[in-house]
Chain A
Amino acid sequence: MLTTQQDRLMGEINNLVDVHGSERSALIPILQDIQKRYHTIGDFEMQVIADRLGIHPVEVYGVVTFYSFLNEGREGRFVIRLCRTISCDMAGKAAVAQQLRNDLGIEFGETTADGRFTLEWANCIGMCDQGPAMLVNGKVFTRVTPEMVHDILAACEKTFGPHTPQTEEEHAL
């Protein structure tokens, strides 16, 4: 990693510590912000956060690997989480899953080579009366059909320009 990049990350983590505090209880809010901005929580970030909070980096690693919304591997810019739990299963989640695989060319748990999309399973997301349901970067889609998959992916693609910075809009989608 370049020093300038490291400096930028350290600056960012310092800012987050100013916002959330340097208590242990600030750890998860800090990690959530890093995840949201960088789509991964790398070794360097974990080390710096550990130093700032005065805890061992293994403690940070333990937390990152425990929660499904925190990730030490790189996630795509758009994370699709399709509910696999029973009510969505009965409502036809398998066909939606297959179309997502077909259109993205990846399996669940994988990220597209261009780093745009990650496909994940979710456990019940509280939309069981309107399944199949899925989350795309936190936005909820209900009664998803295989036919809708293309349009949803296209809407994500649309927010990419050649050099677009990560915007709030992108996170909202």
Chain B
Amino acid sequence: MTIRNEITLASVVKNEGLAVALELKPAEVIKTVRDSGMKGRGGAGFPTGLKWEFAAREKGEKKFVICNADEGEPGTFKDRVLMSEWPDLIFEGMTLAGYAIGASEGVFYLRGEYTYLQAGLEKCLAARRKANLLGDNILGKEGFSFDIHIHMGCGAYVCGEETALIESLEGCRGEARNRPPFPVNTGLNGMPTIVNNVETFAWATAIMAKGADWFKAIGTDKSTGPKILSISGDVERPGVYEFPMGTTIDDVIEAAGGQDAKAVVIGGASGHCIPRTEFSRAISYEDVATGGSVIVFGPHRDMLDVAENFLEFFVDESCGQCTPCRIGNVKLLEGVRLLQLGECSTSYLQDLCSLGETMQCASKCGLGQSSPNAFLSIVKHFRNEILGRA
């Protein structure tokens, strides 16, 4: 079983959130989402209500709601589970977002690797159209029309980055754009567009159904609500778990059965490696932020192999547009191979670390900016393990 504990979304009554939203004015829907304090569940953690407000304020002959179902971050699979179990809540969230910002078109960008989910999602959309939950004058709301179509991705991690995703939708190579302008101003076809994660839309539905106060009461002041995590690696019970924001790494690992872990990488290949001594830290936007990936490493694992695996990933997935990311990841990977051979001097390791820091600030998009994170944190915490190999 992939779902390992109780997921609150299971108790949300279908279409209650949408019905509540349509009784309100669009601005009131946005206020409710703002009041909940929810931040994006896809990784970057931008306040959802604020994003919607920017898009609502923007003028455009058309506006778009995009659901980011590209779920490519290594170690993340919670969106897959949400799409299989509660597709209605996701589509409902997109619909009420469309009402809130004044959009009539929704695009569901599903990663090519998840093609086997497409039929089920199409079926759910068809049922919603039939029940007047999509289409014209939704639930009798005069003048509110909204529909959603699914667009299949084509095997490119960078297309999870919102501007690369939009490039891809427009029929181009998935090369990230400069930000600003942000999609809320200049998005799909130059129109105001919100891009949100699958889980974000599902929680938006829950917030409309259960109220902002319910959501805000869970978690910490700066990180409200529950978060769904994907846990894999050296644990007895890998799978999908829900925890309140602010839960410590210790508690998360204990729930999954990985008590002897020596380290955990939170946030996937673009996340950070946290050693056992820091397991009291909390999963939250103010401490250890994540889109949901938790990968646990047992005592026998070689952390240099982990760095190598992640850097191979980035070398493969970099779109190649900018130099820090295109060349930097290759250089870091070569450095890891030197370390594996025991042929890396301390001063060269220092050079690699400053290269990593340069990539963090000089890369064009989030891929290159975060690609050195795992390497840098592994070097920081496991220096003795990686230097001086015979």
Contact = CB atoms under 8 A, between A and B. Distances in A.
Which of B79, B171, B231 counts the most chain A CB atoms within 10 A?
B171
B74 A87 contact: yes
A128 B232 contact: yes
Interface string A92-126: 00000000000000000000000000000011111
A122 B113 contact: yes
Contact of A123 (B77, B79, B305, B317): B317
A34 B171 CA distance: 15
Interface in B108-127: 111-116
A124 B172 contact: no
Which of A62, A84, A87 counts the most chain B CB atoms within 10 A?
A87
B interface: dominant SS: mixed
Interface stretch (B27-35, B97-105, B150-158, B200-208): B150-158
B73 interface: yes
Contacts of B79: 126
Contacts of A139: 116
A25 B74 contact: no
Interface in B285-318: 295, 297, 301, 305-306, 309-310, 312-313, 316-317
Interface string B145-183: 000000110111100000000001111111000000000
Contacts of A28: 154, 168, 171
Contact of A129 (B2, B116, B168): B2
A135 to B, nearest CB: 6
A66 B167 CA distance: 12
A24 B170 contact: yes
Interface stretch (A3-11, A67-75, A149-157, A158-166): A67-75
B115 A67 contact: no
Nearest to A88: B232
B77 A67 contact: no
B295 A32 contact: no
Contacts of B157: 123
Given A63-B171, A87-B232, A128 B238 contact: yes
A128 B77 contact: yes
Contacts of A32: 152, 154
Contacts of A24: 170-172
A138 B305 CA distance: 29
A126 B306 contact: no
Interface residues of B, number: 52
Contacts of A29: 151-152
B88 interface: no
Contacts of A47: none
B208 to A, nearest CB: 28
A90 B302 CA distance: 11
Contact of A67 (B2, B76, B156): B156
Given A63-B173, A123-B74, A68 B154 contact: yes
Contacts of A126: 71, 76-77, 79-80, 111, 113-114
Contacts of A122: 113, 155
B75 interface: yes
Contacts of A23: 171
B360 interface: no
A50 to B, nearest CB: 12
A126 B172 CA distance: 25
- The 5 tightest CB contacts between A and B, nearest first, are A68-B155, A67-B154, A27-B171, A129-B238, A128-B232
Interface of B: 2, 71-77, 79-80, 111-116, 151-152, 154-157, 168-174, 230-234, 238-240, 265, 268-269, 295, 297, 301, 305-306, 309-310, 312-313, 316-317, 319
Given A85-B74, A122-B155, 9 more contacts: A28-B154, A29-B152, A67-B174, A85-B309, A86-B265, A87-B74, A128-B74, A128-B76, A128-B77
30 contacts: A24-B171, A28-B154, A29-B151, A66-B156, A66-B173, A67-B156, A67-B174, A68-B154, A68-B155, A84-B309, A85-B75, A85-B313, A86-B233, A86-B306, A87-B74, A87-B232, A87-B233, A87-B238, A90-B234, A90-B301, A124-B73, A124-B76, A126-B71, A126-B76, A126-B77, A128-B74, A128-B76, A128-B77, A128-B238, A135-B113
